[in-house]
Structure 1
Amino acid sequence: MASVYKINDDFYDDSFFLIALHSTLEDYAVAYRLNHVLKSNLKRAKTDFELTKNSSFPFYEWQDELNDRYWVLVANQSTKKELVANTNDLFQNESTYSTPRLIPELKEVDYFLKIEDDESIDCEEIIKLLLGMPRIMAAYEVDADKLKSKNNLIF
């Protein structure tokens, strides 16, 4: 008989800030511009974050050892498409695909910037810098405690 392990909410340290980004840029261009504006060093992870076998999310990470922070830029849209079965439809012989989202309740968001920090960080200042970047239409803080799919942000 197989063992089942569950993550206890007390075990997971949720002291992080989550910033939603709206942009038409590709993920590598957003990371490049964030590195320039925030003086960060985000680099593409060796493997994408796979939530399920049909969803893969590219992400960039940086361990800021000077300030003891961990930064993650992750796309909200999967690079893999999911085949959806059509039944009793006008186009039932056609393939239909859906794009899985990391945080489905915020499907309009393109990227999330997650900053893990034990101290208080000036999130307002970071958002102000992000809004000054070209081709970033919107940037705002998201209350992660109100998200249903908060556990998807565990990397």
Structure 2
Amino acid sequence: MAIHKLDIGEFDEIDYYLIAIHTSLEDYRLAYFINQKLPINLGKSKDEVHIKIKGGETQFSRFYYDDTENSVAWDLIQNTNEVFQQNRETTNNLFSDSTIEMATKVYLLPELKKVDYFLKIENSNDTIDVSKIKQILNTIDEISTAYAVETDQIKSKNNLIF
């Protein structure tokens, strides 16, 4: 009888590229400009990225394009989201029994808080030139900067599994 062993390192391989994008654009406008410059067609995904946080659960918007011809999957994901939590205060003063709504910012990748969006490119056959994509993204006037992120340095890379 043959014994098959699986190495846990086989499942920890990173098979995607991650480009950080700094912009003040809304997600749908950014997707539109990226579609104009790159030969892709990002569309709003019904499956948003869900992340569990201390106060419950939040979701980040996601635009998706699957290039089956080249075996490439493109994801444009928002990095910042606001979560509104309602706290009920019961104190003996003029405003007793009042409900206070507090907004807290939540990040998909907390170690990269200044990034507005990520362009995740899953490529199974290494046909993508990331430096060329960065150059094209930086030609969009509304994008402040776009650069590649070293995926080895990300601590919360499990948030990118969806």
TM-score interval w.r.t. the shorter chain? 0.7 to 0.9
Deviation (angstroms), 1:105: 0.6
Summarize deviations over 1:37-92 as a string: whole Å, max 9, x none: 002111111132111243110001111112110000000012x514397xxxxxxx
Read off the aligned partner of 2:61 and give its amino acid letter.
P
State the alpha-carbon separation in 1 of the partners of residues 11 and 45 from structure 2. 25
The Cα RMSD (Å) is: 2.2
Q: Which residue of 1 aligns with 2:93?
A: none
Read off the aligned partner of 2:110 and give its amino acid letter.
P
Q: Which residue of 2 aligns with 1:51?
A: 51
3-state SS of paired residue (2:137): helix
Larger Rg: 2
Asked if 1 retains the 8 angstrom alpha-carbon contact of 2:49 and 2:61, the reply is: yes
State the alpha-carbon separation in 2 of the partners of residues 108 and 82 from structure 1. 21
Asked if 2 retains the 8 angstrom alpha-carbon contact of 1:130 and 1:136, the reply is: yes
Aligned pair count reads 142
Equivalent of 2:153 in 119, 135, 146: 146
1:33 to 1:97, Cα distance in 2 relative to 1, 3 A = same
Q: How does 1:1-155 map to 2 (within 5 A)?
A: 10-52=10-52, 53-78=56-81, 80-83=82-85, 95-118=101-124, 119-155=126-162
User: What is the TM-score normalised by the length of structure 1?
Assistant: 0.83
Could you tell which deviates more after superposition, 20-29 or 8-17? Answer: 8-17
Asked if 1 retains the 8 angstrom alpha-carbon contact of 2:84 and 2:101, the reply is: no
List runs of 5+ in structure 1 lacking aligned partners. Answer: 1-7, 86-92
State the alpha-carbon separation in 2 of the partners of residues 9 and 61 from structure 1. 28
List runs of 5+ in structure 2 lacking aligned partners. Answer: 1-7, 88-97
Asked if 1 retains the 8 angstrom alpha-carbon contact of 2:66 and 2:74, the reply is: yes
Q: Higher strand fraction: Structure 1 or Structure 2? A: 2
Q: Percent identity?
A: 37
State the alpha-carbon separation in 2 of the partners of residues 70 and 9 from structure 1. 23
User: What is the TM-score normalised by the length of structure 2?
Assistant: 0.79
